[in-house]
Structures are given as structure tokens and as C-alpha cells.
């Protein structure tokens, strides 16, 4: 390599290194940060911060920003308002203008003159202020635990020193310091000076941005009078208002919901349940399911839809055909049917129950044949909505009361309490407890518990559901406590210490109460109770009586078991979830006794049907329709874009940080 070229390379490298070194020397930083803490006998604390900072016109143009958290949370969990009071602010030994503002949770000092730009170089700021309620009173000693150099500074700190001065009559009993980022328990410090009433601790390394130093110094009890019980009570209330808002909301929610349930949510006493050999008058299969569920289909929307389809098929209005693994629904007055037949068909449609009539019209809106598997999501949703709405209008407030207004008031109290909690928390909580963490955890747990609660209870029969809801609520509340308790180890490190656990549990409690009482608040009317007793009697007949009495001598009161009776009540059996028992009894007692020439085959169904195993054949039909319904009711996928230890740095009162402006 030529000598001249090598010299050029060395020169370029030297210039680059020199430039980077100059940048390093010129970068804005805190050269020295000294904090003097003086504890007074009146429980106030005077603090003077002396900050030497290099100004280069980057972030610091006119002066410093000093942010001090106005509240912090003590080890006993309560919030404390320290009420900072600024006495003097100086720069380079001269008084410096400043403005005070409250930025959310922070007490902010904007130091400097908006019309004056600082000269580049080293400047020394001195900030003196006092705070209240920053002394901890313990069983064996009293203590000042102060986040002297906060973990929110935007600049590196080359040297840091904290001095604590105790009042007359006190002596340093024990001390500790914690260095590093927020939550760390580093011990990069040394004691540089100590007397009976004072101690100085100095960092043994430089601090990077967002690193700081907290100190804790204890002294014997009795030097400073602890606050009286009345003072503590007033302070506790004022400093912890977010918690009390939630507690008050939880109590009011509970009292309101229990009162409302006693007033309007208690079910009338059930009557004697006796076997009923025919369906209650003017009650369709869909209505029977909806009344049993008091506003929800007892066996689910899709199964009730299938029951209504088979009901219309048995009445001769439609025909169900097997097409491969799917089902096709055909109206019986399609082209080719005689005029007289069509007139009879129109008359039969008019005589349908309200729900089935709405389903028929929506299903055959401009078409004679429907293949459910080929239906679009919007089409199927519209059909299902028309069916459900018609049944709801036919039953609501006649057979049961949902009492949604009272449930809504309980939910409204919960929402208002939660909103007030987060509103107050955003102003009262220290920086490391910004409510976003609680919002995320509550949103996640609330969504999970809502899905679990609604999903589990939807799978339970109505009677069993009412009996188990309390247990389910208790289990979910216990799960929430467990998740929060172990979260610090397995989900979010530090969750237990960073969450205000009591408000979180109270909010979850209110949410679970609202969910539970939304269901509990429903109550049948007197007419509804009578109809529900009849429906229970019908279920008793289809599941127990028909099987037990068919071979008994006292079965004279029971109607003859015929294919017609089987089909008349089959839609009710499907809607009420007892179709298997109903079919099995007829399979064993009736259909198996028929000669091959008279084997049962439903005329309303065209497709493979095992006359020897009608129970399995019915299951095949309902499963095929159910599969088609599930496919049609699935929305299309959408695209998406892509002092004694135990403390830590950032702990105690004080802290915060700052920057330039």
C-alpha cells in the first residue's frame, strides 16, 4: 500500500475519532447532581437539589423541566399526596423565573425565560422545595424513604450524592440506598460522610438516562410525633379516594342488584308438575324453548331453528331433502302444484305460529328452494334474526320479564365507578402505576370471564344454570385472584407490586355481579310460570312417563303411541333437547314392532333413512342441517394489517425526572 494513501486513511480515521470525541464531550448531560434532604419535627421535609448541567442547545435551550410526582404509594398500599411547595429556584447563583403546572400525576417546574436562550456550557441550578406526609412511622423506628434522584431523567448523570439531615434529638439508626433503573435494587453507592444526625451517600458509578438513586434512613421512634388517628383517617380518605370510589360503587351495586332481585327477580313458586300428553295450547316449539330460557332459546338458536323447520315439514309446508352431505329445503307450493293445492298451502302458512311464519317468509323470500350450506352469512343472519325477533315479540313481557332496566342501572353504576376510578387514578397515582396496566389486565380478565360465563351458562339447561351460576361466579372470582396473585411470576413480572390489587378485585367483583344478576333478574310472570309448568310436564311425559308407563297396566290415561303422536311432538322434543329419549322410546316400543311393509319413514324427508334405527336417522338429519347452519352463520374472515432493605431504585416518595425546553 502506498505511503501517501496510508497517511490519508490515518488522517480520515483521526478526524472521525476526533469528531465523535467532540460530540461525546459536547452532549448534554448532568455533571453533578446533589440532593440535601432535611427532616423536620413537624413531619415536613425540606429538599434542595443542586444540578450542574451541560447545555448544548439540543434539548436544553431555555432551561430545565423538573417533574416531581405529587403522590406515591407506601408499603401499606395507601396513596400519599406530598403537596410540594417551591421556595426558591436559582441558576448560577441568581434567581431564575419558573412556572408551576400540574401535568396529570406530576408537579412540573418549567425553569427559565421563554425569551432567553441559554449560553452553551456548564450551568448550575438550585431548586428548593418542601413536601408533606413523607415520613414512614413503623413499630420500631421512623423513616424517610425518598427517591432522591428520580429514574425519569432524560440525561446521563456523571456524579450523584444524597445527604440526609435528621432533626435535633434524632440519630441515624439504619440506612440503605438503591441504584439503577426503576425497580432495580442496585447497591452502587458508598457512604462518604456520617454523623449522629446526618449521612451522605454517593454513587460509585455514572447513571445512564432513566437511572437514579433512592435512599432510606431510619431513626428511633419518639423524635417526631406520629399523626393522630383523626389525622390519619382524613389523610387516608383524601389520599386514597380512587379506592373508596370503587368500594362505594361495589357496595351500591351489590345492594341495588340484591334489592332489585328481591323486588322483581324472584320466580313465582312452581306448581305441581304432572305429565302432559300434548303441547300447551298456542305454544309452538320455538316459543316453548324461548319461554323456558326466558328470552334465550333453551337449546340454542340453531337447534330451535331446526325444530321449527321440522315442524313446518311435518305440517306439509316444506320438504327436506338430502343432497350429498347437505340438506335442501323446498316449499311445497312450488311450480307444478295445482291452484287448489296452492290455496290450501297459503291458508296453512297463515295459520302457522308467528315465529314459524316469519321463518317461512324469510327463508323463501323470492325463492322456492334453499340450500343452507350455500347461503351467504348476511342472508342467513337476516333469516335467523327475523325468526328470533318474531318469537321474542310473541313471548316478551307476556310470559316473563327480563327486568333489563334494573340490570342496566347496576351496570351503569359499575361503569361510572370504574370511569371515576381511572380518572382519579390518572391524577393521583405515581408514574410507575399509570392505570394502563390495570386497564389492560381488567380488559383481558373481563373479556375472558364474560366469554367463560356466557359460554358455560349457555351450555347448561335452564334449571341447572340457575343452580350453578353462583358457583360459576365464585369460581371466576377465585380465578381472577389467582391470576393476579401468580401474575408476577408467570405472566407480567412485578404485576402484584404494581397493581392496586384491591380496586382491581372490586371492579371484577362488580363486573361479575352485573353478569350474574343480568341472568338472575329474569323472572316469569304468573302466566309464564303456569306455561313453564306445562312445558315441564310435557318434557316429563316425553322422557320418563312414556318409557315407564307404556308397559304398565295403569297406562290407560296415556294416548296410544303412534307415528302421528311421535311426529306431533317431535319438534317440541328437539326444541327442548329431549329428542333422543323421545325417539329411542318409539324405536323400541313402536317402530321395531311394525312389519317391513309398514316401516316408518317420514314423508317430509327425502334421503337415506334407516327405518330400523330412527333415532340415529333423526340425528343424521339434524346434524346435517346443523352443519349447514354453522357454515352459513360463520362470518367471512377479514384481513388485517400487520433502610432495612426491600426497597428499589425509584421507590419511596419523590422521584420523577426532567428534561429541557
Is the same domain home to 426 and 441?
A: yes
Per cent of the chain over pLDDT 70 is: 72
- Of 488, 521, 554, the domain-final residue: 521
Report if residue 369 sits inside a domain: yes
Could you tell me the pLDDT band of residue 464, with boundaries at 50, 70 and 90?
Answer: very low
Average pLDDT over residues 68-75: 72
CA dist 28 and 55 (Å) reads 6
- Of 521, 537, 553, the domain-final residue: 521
Is the same domain home to 100 and 157?
A: yes
Q: What is the mean pLDDT of the chain?
A: 78
Is the same domain home to 139 and 55?
A: yes
Whether pLDDT at 489 is above 60: no
CA dist 154 and 209 (Å) reads 5
What confidence score (pLDDT) does residue 554 get? Answer: 46
Q: pLDDT tens-digit profile of 608-619?
A: 888 778 888 888
Is the same domain home to 301 and 420?
A: no
What confidence score (pLDDT) does residue 19 get? Answer: 41
Whether pLDDT at 473 is above 70: no
What confidence score (pLDDT) does residue 217 get? Answer: 92
Whether pLDDT at 447 is above 70: no
The three state secondary structure string of 572-595 is: HHHHCCCHHHHHHHHHHHCHHHCC
Average pLDDT over residues 630-646: 57
Whether pLDDT at 216 is above 70: yes
Q: Would you call 654 helix, strand, or coil by DSSP?
A: strand
Whether pLDDT at 112 is above 50: yes
Q: pLDDT tens-digit profile of 288-336?
A: 999 998 888 888 899 999 999 999 999 989 999 988 888 899 988 655 5
Could you tell me the pLDDT band of residue 73, with boundaries at 50, 70 and 90?
Answer: low
Higher pLDDT, 54 or 334: 54
Higher pLDDT, 453 or 291: 291
- Of 493, 521, 549, the domain-final residue: 521
Average pLDDT over residues 398-421: 80
Report if residue 553 sits inside a domain: yes
Is the same domain home to 45 and 152?
A: yes
Residue 207 pairs in a beta bridge with: 157
Q: Could you tell me the residue range of the domain that residue 196 belongs to? A: 29-227
How many whole angstroms from its chain centre is CA 291?
31
pTM (whole model) above 0.75: no
Q: pLDDT tens-digit profile of 26-47?
A: 488 999 999 999 999 988 999 9
Integer CA distances (angstroms), 292 to 286, 355, 504, 531, in order: 10, 16, 36, 9
> Which positions ≥6 away from 172 have C-beta within 8 Å?
166, 194, 196, 197, 198, 199, 217, 218, 219
Whether pLDDT at 648 is above 50: no
Report if residue 654 sits inside a domain: no
Which segment, 233-247, 409-423, 615-629, is predicted with the most confidence on average? 615-629
Q: Would you call 148 helix, strand, or coil by DSSP?
A: strand
Cα distance between the two ends of the chain: 51
Q: Which of 328, 218, 234 is nearest to 621 (CA)?
A: 328
Query: Among 76-80, 137-141, 153-157, whose mean pLDDT is lowest?
Result: 76-80
The dihedral through the CA atoms of 546, 548, 551, 557 has a sign that is negative
Integer CA distances (angstroms), 215 to 37, 398, 501, 555, 652, in order: 10, 70, 26, 89, 8
Is the same domain home to 514 and 563?
A: no
Report if residue 250 sits inside a domain: yes
CA dist 46 and 50 (Å) reads 13
Report if residue 657 sits inside a domain: no
Is the same domain home to 614 and 474?
A: no
CA dist 228 and 233 (Å) reads 9
Q: How many residues are listed for the chain in this entry?
A: 661
Report if residue 352 sits inside a domain: no
In contact, 278 and 541? CB cutoff 8 Å: no
- Number of domains forming the structure of the chain: 3
**In this structure, what C-alpha cell is assigned to residue 618?**
333423526
Integer CA distances (angstroms), 614 to 335, 600, 608, 619, in order: 32, 8, 11, 8
What confidence score (pLDDT) does residue 130 get? Answer: 92
- Radius of gyration from C-alpha coordinates of the chain: 38
For residue 195, the domain's CATH number is 2.60.40.1730
Is the same domain home to 469 and 582?
A: no
Strand 94-95 and strand 85-91: pairing?
A: antiparallel
Report if residue 102 sits inside a domain: yes
Is the same domain home to 303 and 378?
A: yes
Whether pLDDT at 476 is above 60: no
Whether pLDDT at 282 is above 80: yes
Segment (H or E) for 178? strand 174-180
Q: pLDDT tens-digit profile of 327-376?
A: 899 988 655 544 445 555 667 788 899 999 999 999 998 888 999 888 88
Is the same domain home to 582 and 534?
A: yes
What confidence score (pLDDT) does residue 179 get? Answer: 92
Report if residue 96 sits inside a domain: yes
Is the same domain home to 510 and 449?
A: yes
Is the same domain home to 184 and 169?
A: yes
| DSSP state letter for 186 | B
In contact, 406 and 264? CB cutoff 8 Å: yes
Whether pLDDT at 108 is above 60: yes
> Which positions ≥6 away from 210 have C-beta within 8 Å?
151, 152, 153, 181, 182, 657
Amino acid at each position: 500500500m502506498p505511503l501517501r494513501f496510508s497517511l490519508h486513511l490515518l488522517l480520515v480515521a483521526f478526524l472521525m475519532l476526533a469528531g465523535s470525541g467532540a460530540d461525546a464531550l459536547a452532549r448534554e448531560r448532568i455533571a453533578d447532581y446533589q440532593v440535601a434532604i432535611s427532616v423536620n419535627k413537624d413531619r415536613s421535609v425540606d429538599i434542595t437539589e443542586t444540578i450542574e448541567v451541560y447545555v448544548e442547545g439540543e434539548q436544553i435551550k431555555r432551561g430545565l423541566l423538573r417533574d416531581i410526582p405529587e403522590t406515591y404509594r407506601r408499603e401499606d398500599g395507601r396513596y400519599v399526596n406530598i403537596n410540594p411547595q417551591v421556595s426558591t429556584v436559582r441558576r448560577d447563583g441568581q434567581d431564575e423565573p419558573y412556572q408551576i403546572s400540574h401535568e396529570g400525576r406530576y408537579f412540573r417546574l418549567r425553569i427559565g425565560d421563554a425569551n432567553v436562550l441559554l449560553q452553551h456550557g456548564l450551568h448550575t441550578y438550585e431548586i428548593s422545595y418542601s413536601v408533606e406526609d413523607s415520613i414512614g412511622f413503623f413499630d420500631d423506628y421512623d423513616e424517610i424513604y425518598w427517591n432522591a434522584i428520580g429514574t425519569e431523567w432524560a440525561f446521563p448523570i456523571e456524579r450523584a450524592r444524597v445527604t440526609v439531615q435528621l432533626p435535633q434529638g434524632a440519630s441515624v439508626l439504619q440506612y440503605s440506598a438503591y441504584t439503577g433503573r426503576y425497580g432495580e435494587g442496585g447497591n452502587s453507592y458508598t457512604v462518604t460522610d456520617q454523623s449522629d444526625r446526618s449521612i451522605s451517600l454517593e454513587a460509585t458509578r455514572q447513571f445512564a438516562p432513566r437511572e437514579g438513586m433512592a435512599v432510606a434512613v431510619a431513626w428511633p421512634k419518639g423524635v417526631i410525633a406520629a399523626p393522630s388517628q383523626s389525622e390519619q383517617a382524613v389523610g387516608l380518605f383524601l389520599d386514597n379516594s380512587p379506592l373508596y370510589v370503587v368500594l362505594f360503587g361495589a357496595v351500591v351495586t351489590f345492594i341495588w342488584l340484591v334489592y332489585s332481585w328481591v323486588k322483581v327477580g324472584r320466580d313465582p313458586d312452581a306448581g305441581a308438575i304432572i305429565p302432559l300428553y300434548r303441547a300447551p295450547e298456542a305454544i309452538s316449539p320455538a316459543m316453548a324453548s324461548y319461554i323456558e330460557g326466558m328470552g334465550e332459546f333453551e337449546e340454542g338458536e340453531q337447534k330451535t331453528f331446526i325444530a321449527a323447520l321440522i315442524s313446518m315439514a311435518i305440517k306439509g309446508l316444506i320438504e327436506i331433502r338430502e343432497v350429498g352431505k347437505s340438506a335442501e329445503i323446498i316449499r311445497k307450493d312450488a311450480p307444478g302444484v295445482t291452484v287448489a293445492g296452492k290455496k290450501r298451502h297459503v291458508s296453512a302458512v297463515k295459520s302457522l305460529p308467528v315465529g314459524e311464519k316469519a321463518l317461512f317468509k324469510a327463508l323463501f323470500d323470492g325463492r322456492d328452494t334453499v340450500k343452507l350450506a350455500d347461503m351467504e352469512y348476511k342472508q342467513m343472519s337476516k333469516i335467523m334474526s327475523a325468526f328470533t325477533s318474531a318469537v321474542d315479540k310473541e313471548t316478551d313481557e307476556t310470559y316473563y320479564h327480563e327486568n333489563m332496566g334494573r340490570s342496566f342501572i347496576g351496570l351503569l353504576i359499575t361503569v361510572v365507578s370504574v370511569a371515576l376510578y381511572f380518572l382519579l387514578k390518572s391524577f393521583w397515582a405515581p408514574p410507575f402505576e399509570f392505570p394502563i396496566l390495570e386497564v389492560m389486565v381488567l380488559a383481558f380478565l373481563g373479556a375472558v370471564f364474560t366469554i367463560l360465563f356466557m359460554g358455560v351458562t349457555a351450555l347448561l339447561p335452564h334449571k341447572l344454570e340457575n343452580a350453578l351460576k353462583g358457583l360459576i361466579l365464585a369460581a371466576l372470582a377465585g380465578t381472577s385472584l389467582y391470576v393476579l396473585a401468580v401474575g408476577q411470576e408467570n405472566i407480567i413480572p412485578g404485576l402484584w407490586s404494581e397493581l392496586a390489587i384491591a380496586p382491581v378485585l372490586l371492579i371484577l367483583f362488580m363486573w361479575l355481579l352485573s353478569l350474574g344478576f343480568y341472568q338472575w333478574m329474569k323472572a316469569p310472570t304468573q302466566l309464564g310460570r303456569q306455561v313453564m309448568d306445562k312445558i315441564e310436564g310435557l318434557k316429563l311425559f316425553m322422557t320418563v312417563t312414556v318409557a315407564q308407563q307404556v308397559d304398565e297396566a295403569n297406562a290407560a290415561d296415556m294416548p296410544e303411541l303412534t307415528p302421528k303422536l311421535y311426529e306431533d311432538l317431535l319438534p317440541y322434543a328437539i326444541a327442548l333437547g329431549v329428542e333422543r329419549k323421545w325417539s329411542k322410546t318409539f324405536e323400541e316400543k313402536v317402530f321395531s314392532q311394525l312389519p317391513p311393509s309398514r316401516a316408518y319413514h317420514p314423508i317430509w324427508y327425502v334421503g337415506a333413512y334407516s327405518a330400523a334405527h330412527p333415532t340415529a336417522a333423526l340425528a343424521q338429519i339434524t346434524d346435517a342441517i346443523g352443519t349447514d347452519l354453522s357454515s352459513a352463520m360463520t362470518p367471512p374472515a377479514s384481513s388485517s394489517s400487520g433502610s432495612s432493605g426491600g426497597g428499589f431504585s425509584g421507590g419511596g416518595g419523590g422521584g420523577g425526572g426532567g428534561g429541557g425546553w
